[in-house]
Structure 1
């Protein structure tokens, strides 16, 4: 892992400290120094002998460490929106067409905004206390949110109305998931339960899990057909949750990652990690990833979860979000780091800007990446700038 500690590289004679750490090997330290700026605004950088500057542009920097046989690309934000919220931005999502964003803040606000210029479109008012999570339905015109008031709400992104409110949880909502096109949605809570809701009927279909400890994150996906998800219970018909059963992932506070059949509500696997699980997501019908409070990222094969396929540990900071992207996935952590891990795990793209403020969430649309941070900024990156 290559890290730039101080970024003053756009100033003439500006200098930055650089480190490279590979597990089991001594950390190498070096410097980057700016010897001028070109007419196009590109810094002329010279690296100390431990590092090499492979490529540089206005928005990106590619550095290698030959001795440790590794490299990393650093990508600066294309645009930063600081006017959408007044406080820390805790969750974010982008519509399927990439035109609208939705985000939540520690001041209890839930806002819809233009992804091009950050212009605020509307406030979604109705939750009491903080709003913890938000996401678009696949249609891009409906929004799902969950708050500390234990309520799950469905909103119109077009006029800001809230036609459906789900009540039943006894603790704050920590995460949500949408089943297929959105007839059914899932929520998980501090009360230790995960609930399945019917949006058309505005009712709770089932408590699909009761774990006894807070469920910090959830994700739903189609499992490989070799995995036995159990027999569907009579209360939840196949028609209500889709034509094929789904695997529900639950990131639990008690250090356990659980896989559960959505129709059967039976536990398919239970994997114990090193600390509380904060987030989880599907990479495919076979592979999943989950992140813990002490910085571990586990990649698991759902057909055999006795041991992880691989464990990634870049720092001891909490893993706050995971987002699949093409053949890899984005990771954001509590130390301000946000990066894309490719399929081979060897090449990393680092998103810069937040310094040491936690990056709470990542959202993607085509080659655009959006992040939200404790410093109150929503940052937009263009991977085409690499």
Structure 2
């Protein structure tokens, strides 16, 4: 039997109404399917089975099913912005958060948060990915303008621009210390770059369909072999690593960064686009993928014929982004839903019972990231959403 997670929405200010101790109603809507929404009205004076079970955490049982709601701790960045599109964090040399927006601008905040850098018109269009180099002094950005750029945070200069993709950039991953990185594009390619020279060391594409657009990347360590260099003088730390690419077709392709070959493919099991990938750090076998039909799947790379576990989050509603942190998957679904699902280790199975809904003002979440102290998750998205939730 397929596990399902009906999408649940609660009135965003419900906690304020409860704290005010005024007698009044608030709503909870459960989207049991695309065609059927069930509305519940609860009274603040009569909590019934709606209870506070922790700091900013509430629980309710509706028709025999349990739901939890996590209220935001507060806004992270109070900046007027139409749409944040991506975020990354680093703890070097101090705690920093980089945010990209739909207009091509980049802002970097400290932990206060105070604005430290504002790189205006960094790209001609939407920023699709941001990655700090491990030093925290350099930032990599990718955009729908088909370019990747390196930014020095010492003076906000752009010492290197990487060109070669023929369509929008969708994702990027650092290889070890960042002497190399990989990027993906809707042109169907993954490129391995050398940062010093700005050269593309190698271009990967799916043999069966070279134009199958790529939405997302994940880097994996496939063995215990460690080498400072790859097969090319412009490679550093590629040996023993694979890159996984999620395609528009729903196929996930695995490439060996060192040997430059296509290792295997995970099939288009759900017949819908693979939008997002995430992995458990230091666990080389398990991979989680989110699809446009609402499926969230756990794959075991040792058994690539079909997923070992999957759930449907309101079937038909697209999964936008998934992020693994501290035994949980943070999931953005559709235009207004953010969910935390626990993961059972060591098996890695997804626990669909009693999901925790992150109350994000009914905004679409573009990305999540953990704060470097691992105490909170920051979500960014539409309508200037930039909020912090306790882990």
TM-score bin (small chain): 0.7 to 0.9
The 5 A counterparts of 1:1-386 are 1=5, 3-9=8-14, 10-11=16-17, 12-18=22-28, 30-35=40-45, 46-47=47-48, 52-56=49-53, 59-65=56-62, 67-68=64-65, 71-81=66-76, 83-96=78-91, 99-119=95-115, 121-123=117-119, 125-210=121-206, 211-223=210-222, 236-237=231-232, 240-242=235-237, 244-270=239-265, 271-272=267-268, 273-283=270-280, 284-315=283-314, 316-344=316-344, 345=351, 346-355=353-362, 357-365=363-371, 366-383=374-391
Structure 1 position 166, deviation (Å): 1.1
Q: Partners of 2:95 and 2:68 in 1: how far apart?
A: 27
Structure 1 position 314, deviation (Å): 1.1
Task: Tell me what 1:42 maps to.
Answer: none
Structure 1 position 28, deviation (Å): 7.4
Q: Partners of 1:311 and 1:151 in 2: how far apart?
A: 35
Q: Partners of 1:18 and 1:83 in 2: how far apart?
A: 28
Q: Partners of 1:220 and 1:278 in 2: how far apart?
A: 16
Instruction: Please list every run of 5 or more consecutive structure 2 residues that lacks an aligned counterpart in the other structure.
Output: 345-350
Report Cα offsets for 1:180-199 as digits up to 9, x if no partner: 12111011112111100011
Structure 1 position 21, deviation (Å): 7.6
The secondary structure found in structure 1 opposite 2:64 is helix
Contact 1:55 1:61 in 2 (8 A): yes
Contact 1:175 1:189 in 2 (8 A): yes
**Higher mean C-alpha deviation, range 114-123 or range 157-166:** 114-123
Structure 1 position 54, deviation (Å): 4.1
The secondary structure found in structure 2 opposite 1:84 is coil
The normalised TM-score by structure 2 is: 0.83
Runs (4+) of structure 1 exceeding 4 A deviation are: 19-23, 26-29
Report Cα offsets for 1:131-157 as digits up to 9, x if no partner: 221121222222111112211111123
Structure 1 position 62, deviation (Å): 2.3
Task: Tell me what 2:347 maps to.
Answer: none
**Higher mean C-alpha deviation, range 258-267 or range 284-293:** 258-267
Task: Tell me what 1:41 maps to.
Answer: none
**Aligned CA distance change for structure 1 residues 124 and 245 (closer, same or farther; 3 Å):** farther
Contact 1:20 1:65 in 2 (8 A): no
The normalised TM-score by structure 1 is: 0.84
Aligned length: 359
Q: Partners of 1:21 and 1:224 in 2: how far apart?
A: 43
The secondary structure found in structure 2 opposite 1:46 is coil
**Aligned CA distance change for structure 1 residues 56 and 158 (closer, same or farther; 3 Å):** farther
Contact 1:84 1:118 in 2 (8 A): no
Q: State the Cα RMSD in Å.
A: 2.9
